Amino acid sequence: MRRGLSIALVLLIMPALCGCAPLIIGAAAGGLGAYAISKDTVQGDNDKSFDLLWDSAVNVSKQYGIIQEENISTGYIELAADSSKVWIRLIRLTRATTRIRVSARKFHFSNMELAQDLFVKIVTGVK
């Protein structure tokens, strides 16, 4: 009991001490799984293949704005959308798992609404 309380206390205090408090959100509906939010980045792991997620990320990026840089070998997309600069990074963790990281900034301030929207569209847009 005491050890569980200590662990819970450490988990609650650590984000405050680190300066960047990630918020974990569970969204089982729609196959999103769980994703983490930091100051300007939405990140999540997905069990879809890298190639399917890459195609979805490129399609969603083209719908939202103008792609400025695209590199499938590094899994990197940079685009301008809604007066914001957006960076999408796909990282192949295993053969069956891919990490998706979407960051968005507008006038040097985070644009979490756009980052979350792009993340959800990429994950749900996989065919």
Domains in the chain: how many in total? 1
By the 10 Å C-beta count (0-12 exposed, 13-18 middle, 19+ buried), 30 is classed as exposed
Structural domain containing residue 27? 22-124
**What pLDDT shows up at residue 1?**
56
The 10s digit of each residue's pLDDT in 79-94 is 999 899 999 999 999 9
**DSSP structure class, residue 65:** S
**What pLDDT shows up at residue 117?**
94
The 10s digit of each residue's pLDDT in 103-124 is 999 998 999 999 999 999 999 9
- Residue 55 inside a domain? The answer is yes
- Residue 5 inside a domain? The answer is no
CATH number at residue 74: 3.30.530.20
Residues 6+ positions from 96 with CB-CB distance below 8 Å: 47, 49
Q: In the structure encoding, which two tokens stand for residue 91, read together?
A: 């990282």
The 10s digit of each residue's pLDDT in 6-61 is 555 444 444 444 444 344 343 333 445 556 777 889 999 999 999 999 999 999 99
- Residue pair 46/123 in contact (Cβ under 8 Å)? The answer is yes
- Residue 106 inside a domain? The answer is yes
Please name the helix (run of DSSP H) or strand (run of DSSP E) that holds residue 45, with its range, or none.
Answer: strand 41-46
- Residue 49 inside a domain? The answer is yes
Question: In Å, how far are 12, 13, 42 from 17, measured between CA atoms?
Answer: 10, 6, 21
- Residue 37 inside a domain? The answer is yes
